[in-house]
Chains A and B, each alone.
Chain A
Amino acid sequence: MYIVRIVKKMFGNRFFEINQQGMLQIFILIVIALVVVVTIPVLVMKVFPAADLIMRIILIFLIFTTVRGYLGSGIPTILVTGVLIYFLVIKWAYFTAAMYIAVYFLLALQVFSIVIFGIGMGMRKG
């Protein structure tokens, strides 16, 4: 109730008029769906060591290709790739895998639009 009072003070009743159309529930469902989808590769990497290795190899290839696209083939590419591999693949591999799934599968391949659309269709009345 304290949160409701704060929201009412900040936005007035307009926020709750929006919620009458079910927007708040939709946003919560979308956030939950996003978190679940992004967590899947991390769980798979934790459960299956082979998947962990394959995902790291994919990330290494991705980083090297990206850096080579910027700098071309040469020593700077290898140096920058090494630094990025240390941080993204060795140190924060699970976060990078989750971001890889989120960015490439959900955003670039428009899967996130399907998730939003599916939730909207599922909550439709009539």
Chain B
Amino acid sequence: MSIALIPTMFALLSIGEFFSDMVFVLKIFVLLTIISWIVMHLGKGPLSIVLIIGISWFVLFDAFWLFGGTYVLMMLLTLGVAGIFIDLFFVFPGFAAGGGKPGGLPAEAKMSSQGGVNQRMNLFRQKPGGTRKLPPPM
């Protein structure tokens, strides 16, 4: 019964239309990237046009299942998703088990070259309110 509702849900919420539109938009952005990259390296000549057509055909119509996901992943990495994963898994692992307490699990950055990571780790190790003095009661 619930499985039978899935096609209905797709039709009502127009998920299929949304997905196909977003794939089309993604293909446009991939095409723009290909054109920009080839023109940047070869200029605007006949060889560039031939290469743009050939690579675009291969990337957009032949193997988009591979290049679409790769493009999205590349864009996310460019925008700094890796920093979020470093924050999640390396900066404060085990903090809920007492990572900030003296006897708790140590929080160590196992791999990172990001400048602010050590600063955030030190901030995390401090006790809450330990660095700032509260004003005296009036």
Contact = CB atoms under 8 A, between A and B. Distances in A.
Interface residues of A, number: 33
B81 A26 contact: no
* A-B interface, 7 closest residue pairs, ranked by CB to CB distance from nearest: A22-B96, A126-B101, A70-B32, A107-B79, A21-B97, A70-B36, A124-B100
Interface residues on B, range: 35 or more
B122 interface: no
Interface of B: 18, 21-22, 24-25, 28, 32-33, 35-36, 76, 79-81, 83-84, 87-88, 91-101, 104-105, 120, 124, 127-128
Interface string A7-25: 0000000000000111101
A98 B10 CA distance: 21
5 contacts: A87-B21, A92-B22, A103-B79, A113-B84, A124-B99
A85 to B, nearest CB: 11
Contacts of B91: 117
Given A87-B25, A103-B79, A113-B84, A126 B100 contact: yes
B105 to A, nearest CB: 8
A70 B29 CA distance: 9
